[in-house]
A and B are shown apart, each in its own frame.
Chain A
Amino acid sequence: MLIRARRHHSLVIGSVMLAMVILMALLSPLIAPYDPALQDLENRFSPPFWSEGGSTEHILGTDNLGRDILSRIMWGSQTSLIIGLLTVVMSGVIGSALGIAAGYFGGRLDMIVTFLVTVRLSLPVVLVALVVVAVLGNSLSLMIAAIGLLLWDRFAIVSRSVTRQLATREYIIAARCFGSSSARVLIRELLPNLYGPLLVVASLEMANAVLLEASLSFLGLGVQPPQVSWGLMVAEAKSQLLFRPWVLAIPSVALIWLVLSINLVGDALRDITTPEGRA
């Protein structure tokens, strides 16, 4: 009962929150009131419209260079979502391919893949990402490639263990007896069973990717101006914490909102795809 209630609650709340961010990202070129890089040095640090000194000209206020915060939040959602989705797709494909191959064919291939996963796990992700991005430059596609090549480990682990469990099931053996090729067996029998667990892993890794991008941008080695990133907004606002807290608080809320929604959806998915009876 509690499980079902949690499942429904989290899924609904999480999906709504996530949908709001996605909508904001898709519509930002149309509905953002200002250009996010437009500086207005006369109007620096104007507070949000609900505090004194604020106006409805800049609903959420302006930052240290007079750029409208609301527009920057809207455009920043594009950065976070693009990076989150594309890195997950990339690492998902890499990880699942490795994991399925390892789980299905076993033997040497399995040893190699397990070794690769162990090596990847021992590399400190943030440091490696920093080194790559710092030296090779921080174009968006480079960041996506770098993060995508770093976050595939859980995909590989999960798909490998599920494939190993299923590979010994009777219907797989039966399909092979009928003469189905390996490829056919993989696609028709294994993949449908993998969607659930992999979707759960995907949501987890998407949250990781968003956080990683925000952390990199926070450290100054991620997305660069004039591109907008919520992590970058936090970094720029850090020094103004005491006197102009909204410049820091607003992108922070945005980040937490996005990651929380992804986590809620992921948790709900995990509850749904797990058989009943486990806490």
Chain B
Amino acid sequence: MLTYFLRRLLLTAAVLFATSIIAFLLVHLTADPASTMAGEGASASDLEVIRETYGFNRPLYVQYTAWLLDLLQGDFGRSYYLRRDVSEILAERIPVTVTLGVSALCFSIVVSLTLGVCAALRPNSIIDRFALWLAVAGQALPSFLVAIGLMYVFGVYMRLLPISGVSDWTGYILPVVALGYYSTPSLMRLTRAGMLEALQSDHVRTARAYGLSPWRVTIRHALRHAILPVVSVAAVELGFMLGGSIIVESVFSLKGLGYLAWESIQRADIQVIQSILLLVAASYAVLTLCADLLNAALDPRVRH
């Protein structure tokens, strides 16, 4: 187990290193920091001064190494536009996105598990067909449409829920649903398939033969085995949600990382963009690592 952990840790570190290079190159090769900072109407000498001051005239690998070293010490750089430390800005925005992402994942898991288990318990019934149909429909809806639709129906038409900002927890309800619904079809299908298999397996039959109540059999024996792939996929989906929250956040005007990324892209605020890319990639890598470790802990076959 320890060797597996160390191997995976090493892989994660390598992936993060590669991702940092990509994030850096992506931003620095496509935009000229000096001209974006100087704005329009800047003369060539202005640009030169900026380049000298901020070190943009150094070779790329030198700039990259400097950035990396700063990063490892916790310095994410300074935002050119907002004139603040990037780490401060990130610290403000991260809680919103994390709350959104985790809640969306919980929502998705609750709905998928419920639907998946019910569907598996009565295959080919109305509820099974409904669940599968819901899965197909859910995957065809773009997230911005769901976000706008929810906003319209519940916020404007029925005036039930707030449509922007997060003055209190109710402001999270619509965005959570809008973000979480997309993973629900795949998680539900996974649960259903796993449950179907588990319900036909030998040990569940044994449990039933012992006379255990159907409830106990379903939850404690079948679900425990069906849930393994769901857990690892769910961890990965959380990573997707953190990266994909940009649409939901901009529709509902939530001050999270995604919205910040969008604003920064429009303002060509390079340091912020780099840092967000790296942060999201890092969380995804860490989440995948946790998912793999969880899998390895629960299922010894994975560790070879």
- How many interface residues does chain A have, given as a range? 35 or more
Contacts of B250 in A (CB 8 A): 219
Interface residues of B in 1-33 (CB under 8 A from A): 11, 14-16, 18-19, 22, 26-27, 30-31
Does B188 reach chain A (CB closer than 8 Å)?
A: no
- CA A255 to CA B143, docked complex, whole Å: 11
CB distance from A64 to the nearest CB of B (A): 16
State which of A128, A134, A234, A264 has its C-beta within 8 Å of the C-beta of B136: A264
Contacts of A264 in B (CB 8 A): 136
CB–CB A219/B262 < 8 A: yes
CB–CB B246/A131 < 8 A: no
Max chain A Cβ within 10 angstroms of own Cβ: one of B156, B276, B280: B280
CB–CB B136/A124 < 8 A: no
CB distance from B265 to the nearest CB of A (A): 5
Per-position contact with B for A45-60: 1 when CB-CB < 8 Å, else 0?
0000000000000000
CB distance from B62 to the nearest CB of A (A): 22
Max chain B Cβ within 10 angstroms of own Cβ: one of A131, A248, A264: A131
**Given A122-B284, A124-B277, A218-B144, do A135 and B139 touch, yes or no (CB 8 Å)?**
no
Contacts of A242 in B (CB 8 A): 152, 156
CB–CB A132/B30 < 8 A: yes
**Given A123-B277, A127-B276, A221-B265, do A215 and B141 touch, yes or no (CB 8 Å)?**
no
Interface residues of B in 193-209 (CB under 8 A from A): 193, 196-197
State which of B137, B142, B193, B285 has its C-beta within 8 Å of the C-beta of A215: B142
Per-position contact with B for A111-136: 1 when CB-CB < 8 Å, else 0?
00001001101111111101110111
Contacts of A2 in B (CB 8 A): 124
CB distance from B28 to the nearest CB of A (A): 10
CB–CB B262/A119 < 8 A: no
Q: Quick one: closest A residue to B140, CB to CB?
A: A260
CB distance from A235 to the nearest CB of B (A): 8
Contacts of A115 in B (CB 8 A): 11, 14-15, 18
Contacts of A124 in B (CB 8 A): 240, 242-244, 277, 280-281, 284
CB distance from A275 to the nearest CB of B (A): 15
Does A244 reach chain B (CB closer than 8 Å)?
A: no
Interface residues of B in 173-210 (CB under 8 A from A): 192-193, 196-197
CB distance from B207 to the nearest CB of A (A): 21
State which of B22, B137, B144 has its C-beta within 8 Å of the C-beta of A123: B22
Does A182 reach chain B (CB closer than 8 Å)?
A: no
Does A256 reach chain B (CB closer than 8 Å)?
A: yes
Per-position contact with B for A250-279: 1 when CB-CB < 8 Å, else 0?
001001100110011001000000000001
Additional A-B contact list (4), CB under 8 Å, known A122-B285, A252-B145:
A124-B284, A127-B277, A135-B268, A248-B148
4 cross-chain pairs, A with B, having the tightest CB-CB distances, nearest first: A124-B243, A260-B140, A135-B30, A259-B140
Q: Report 19 cross-chain contacts, Cβ distance below 8 Å, ordered by A residue.
A: A119-B18, A119-B19, A122-B288, A125-B244, A126-B246, A127-B261, A127-B276, A130-B261, A131-B27, A131-B265, A215-B143, A218-B247, A221-B265, A259-B139, A260-B136, A263-B136, A263-B139, A264-B136, A279-B123
